[in-house]
A = this chain, B = another copy of it.
Amino acid sequence: MTKIHLESIGTSAPEQFIKDKTKIENAKLRNKLEALQNLLYAESKHALLIIFQGMDASGKDGAVKNVFGSVNPLGCRVIPFKKPSELELKHDFLWRIHQHVPEKGMITIFNRSHYEDVIIQKIHKWVDEETIIQRYDDINNFEKILNDNSTTILKFYLHISKDEQLERLKERLSNPTKMWKYNENDIIERGFWDDYMNAYQTAFEQCSKVEPWHIIPSDQNWYKEFLILSKVVETLEKFDMKFPGLKSI
């Protein structure tokens, strides 16, 4: 098990990365992604599940839009997970998750995920610690089932600094095009910042058995997008896909 200490991982782009140059790179990567997604859909041998987790205002919505915005929506679904419904709460916590995993040929993006069940639920003690520990195990087993069955899971944690979050929350209060995103609750949850960092790093340590977590420094969106795009393109390229020939009639 790798020890992870989030506070000692930087949240900004290293100096050698230049904004304009990186943005040109991102455009190229988006083109590659578009072509690869088309191939993924045509070949229909692999499924790709993308998981985004991160604090409020860490840029999850933006990552969905700016990384996958130009991909054919026929082969790409976005599933935001909110507060579970009454029926969902009566099931195991992975029940609602499993229903939305991608079939072969598809990319599915989870905006938040089953990791909420070991993050916010742990912090607010909505379930006891024994249950949380059991859930790490359940998550590993669940991800193994998917992985055993042609599904690759890419897990991204969008890592921002506490100061950057404050800036972004303030902007939501002042910028009329962003006010709709403001939620009083975000300020309350911000008060639990250290607990969140602890819960996240424990989850990453416990649940990297099947696929690792990628910690994405996310204070700059262009750098965040560069890292995610690179990883997604690299992963799809490794599938070594081919267009299928004519079906025999």
Q: Which residues of A contact B (CB under 8 A)?
A: 44, 47, 87, 90-95, 98-99, 101, 103-105, 134-135, 137-138, 141-142, 144-146, 148-151
How far is B90's CA from A104's CA once the two chains are assembled, in angstroms?
5
- A93: nearest residue on chain B (CB-CB)? B149
Using known A-B contacts A98-B98, A98-B99, A99-B98, determine if residue A91 contacts B141 with beta carbons closer than 8 Å.
no
Contact B148 A134 (CB under 8 A): yes
Could you say which residues of chain B place their CB within 8 Å of the CB of A149? 91-93, 138
How far is B93's CA from A103's CA once the two chains are assembled, in angstroms?
11
Could you say which residues of chain B place their CB within 8 Å of the CB of A137? 144, 148
Could you say which residues of chain B place their CB within 8 Å of the CB of A91? 47, 101, 103-104, 149
How far is B90's CA from A150's CA once the two chains are assembled, in angstroms?
9
Contact B138 A145 (CB under 8 A): yes
Could you say which residues of chain B place their CB within 8 Å of the CB of A142? 141, 145
Could you say which residues of chain B place their CB within 8 Å of the CB of A148? 92, 134-135, 137-138
- A105: nearest residue on chain B (CB-CB)? B90
- A149: nearest residue on chain B (CB-CB)? B92
Contact B94 A145 (CB under 8 A): yes
